[in-house]
Chains A and B, each alone.
Chain A
Amino acid sequence: MFGSAARLIFIGFVLKQILDYRDWLDFNRDVIFTVTPGKCHVVLHDGGSEDLTHVGNGVVLFSTGLATSKGHIKAVDLNQSLNAFTLNITNSPERDDFMTKLHGLSSWRDPHTGKLYLYVISHASEESIEVFEVEDGMNLKYIKTITDSSFASKFMNDLVVVGKDKFYISQFAHFPIRDMTKVNLEWLSRWKTGNIYYYDGHRARVVASNLEQPNGINISPDAKVIYLSEWGSKTLKAYRRESTNNLVELWSTYLGTGIDNIEVDPDTGDLWIGAHPVMWKVIDLLNIFGAKHPGQVLRIKMTDNAISEIEEVFSDDGNFLYGTSSATNVNGKLVIGTVSQKAAVCELNYLSKNEATDSGLLPDSYVAN
């Protein structure tokens, strides 16, 4: 009698795991509504724009070439024409694998010299961070390449720079990007093999572990809180930065969608996140199977570094843009980047105010129409 009860419980447990896994892959999500904030223009037609950032004066930089091989840093000047152009690189090193498969990027202005630097992750023969000085006239002067033995052969995703050659970097998977089959298996296994490292200018150390595919990482305007997109578990996490640069988890909120890179509005602290709403279609990011992977942009309003409201500002079923991985709001325009395809700029005809809203308000009275 106990034997059959135990068997039933076991079968029930297995069934639940299967159903949870199916839901995690979003097989039930087949109707995607279109949401556009205004008219959208394509500024980059292919090659992808996995990560982007606004460096000031309406200039947005993109990292391209993740899905192909040779990568470039491209830019669009929102004050001028809406066409992306490639940045010139001076002083480049003599390496075949220089600027291969560019992934996450982060810009940082030195408070003493006022110079602007760009750090970008490159999946070269070993995982590298290429460092450039961004010169006026939109040229990039190569400074150096940073690697570290602890992550050289892994799969790094995004970084956020906090000081000269000091940054937090997310390790997406244990297996390198070269080994896509193993990376896919690692992702599908849902094992928490991801970490966040802190590089102090000389070496890297793990500051957060047991994460499921950590992806985008960024920092609050007051530099006290680090935000992380835990893509595998569809969760947004926040960590407090200690004086030792160690991280202590503050909160973790399930968002229910595959969140990718995070951009932070320096004035309001709003988070702008590119997301992949249907998990299983991520396998076909290169659109070989025509799965038409939908795209989504979320705007998260923050109050005191905690979430106060979540808005979906852009949603597309894959016809216009797919693989949306990053987004930012610059002067009333929404800039959207994708992993392997286009980049677009949309008019933001409406943006709700950023005031903390009370939730759970009781209606004043039962009001008739």
Chain B
Amino acid sequence: METLPNGMTFITAGFKWSIGSPHFSQLYTDHGRKGRILLFNFNTPEKGVTELSFDEDFDQSTFHPHGISVIQNKDTGKITLFVVNHTPDEDRIERFEFIEEKMMLEHELSYIDEAINIANDVAATSENSFYFTNYCYSRSSLGYLIEAIVLLLPWGNVVYFDGAHYSEVVDGLLMPNGILLSKDKKYAYVANGILSSLSVFEREANNHLEISQEFQLHASPDNFLIEPKSGNLLVGVHPVLHQTGAHLEAPDLHRAPTKVLMVHMKNSSFADGITELYSDEGNNISAGSVASVYDNKMLIGSVVDKLLYCEVRTLE
């Protein structure tokens, strides 16, 4: 999910990717799930989430969204969404314009390239340029198991699209997950799933990323968002990874614990402390992956489970 300064939050739902388990795929089909984008507004929480429609030309049947990045043009007010889409044939990054009057997403462009392998998250830098993370190299469930889980091969990377070309800016990553840019766009934050750490990169003039800090979280991070008042990083983490794995494989049988952490960032660039905002064994929400805080209210999203709306009373 991502929240705009006006409280509008866009959420991707109906997650499914090619390296998931057959049991999960069967469950997905049995329950008639499909890929959707939901809208929630912190200013009108009682209205809940609204499912956004797509324009007629867009093929919704192959749409399985994952990571999302939303930017608003300061001059025109146009809201652009970049969404990672796992279609059965390949992974793409879709670009939409949000038409508020119609509660609709107008599909503008599909980014398709060899460089988009098994994409996880995307972070936009303009209306036609973005960074994205490739989670691993193999496209099958068995391949992923051998490559990443058994052999721990660091075949994930971060790629930058500058409007014309795709170029690899960081390589040798092991299961990089969420990616987010700092408010001033000078730093990039990448979640290292297996290594349980946050990597802070400095953006160079040529859009390459230079590692600035690796901060240990001792829990597997998923996606980041920035807490607007303090500039600190909010992250959904999986404290017990094998339970998260079991849950993702069979959500009808296993629950997984959720934690939401706030990482204190000095000057948006240096992590020096962690406050825990939410912790649950999985009874309320399983495998929470992202959290957004707006005016002492928090929305927690999960990979395949629920969406939770909370009050935050312990942050001053």
Contact = CB atoms under 8 A, between A and B. Distances in A.
Give chain B's interface secondary structure class: loop
B305 A34 contact: no
Contacts of B261: 33
A31 B198 CA distance: 13
B68 interface: no
B88 interface: no
A369 B38 contact: yes
A367 B313 contact: no
Interface string B274-298: 1110010101001000000000000
A363 B314 contact: no
A35 B312 CA distance: 13
Contact of B11 (A39, A357, A369): A369
B276 A368 contact: no
Residue of A33, A349, A359 with highest tally of chain B CB at under 10 A: A33
Given A349-B313, A350-B314, A363 B217 contact: no
B33 A363 contact: no
A365 B31 contact: yes
B218 A369 contact: no
A341 interface: no
B123 interface: no
B306 A369 contact: yes
Given A36-B314, A350-B313, A363-B252, A369 B276 contact: no
Contact of A366 (B27, B281, B283): B27
Contact of A34 (B13, B216, B274): B274
Given A35-B276, A365-B252, A368-B14, A357 B314 contact: no
Contacts of A359: 281, 283
B13 A357 contact: no
B7 interface: no
A355 interface: no
Interface string B28-65: 00010100001000000000000000000000000000
Contacts of A367: 305-306
B304 A366 contact: yes
B302 interface: yes
B304 A31 contact: no
A350 B275 CA distance: 16
A37 interface: yes
A38 interface: yes
Interface string A35-60: 11111000000000000000000000
A368 B24 CA distance: 12
Contacts of A363: 251-252, 255, 286, 305
Contact of A36 (B216, B274, B275): B275
A369 to B, nearest CB: 4
A359 B276 CA distance: 23
B170 interface: no
Residue of A359, A368, A369 with highest tally of chain B CB at under 10 A: A369
A366 B31 contact: yes
Interface string A343-369: 000000110000001010111011111
B65 to A, nearest CB: 11
A349 to B, nearest CB: 4
A38 B252 contact: no
B301 interface: yes
Residue of A315, A359, A365, A366 with highest tally of chain B CB at under 10 A: A366
A349 B274 contact: no
B274 A33 contact: yes
Contacts of A249: none
B273 interface: yes
Contact of B314 (A33, A38, A361): A38
A300 to B, nearest CB: 15
Nearest to A35: B276
Given A38-B314, A363-B252, A33 B306 contact: no
A312 interface: yes
B316 interface: yes
Contacts of B15: 369
B184 to A, nearest CB: 26
B275 A368 contact: no
B307 interface: yes
Interface of A: 30-31, 33-39, 312, 315, 317, 349-350, 357, 359, 361-363, 365-369
30 contacts: A31-B217, A31-B218, A33-B261, A33-B276, A34-B274, A34-B275, A34-B276, A35-B276, A38-B313, A315-B276, A317-B273, A350-B314, A362-B252, A362-B253, A363-B252, A363-B286, A365-B31, A366-B27, A366-B31, A366-B304, A367-B306, A369-B11, A369-B12, A369-B13, A369-B14, A369-B15, A369-B38, A369-B301, A369-B302, A369-B306
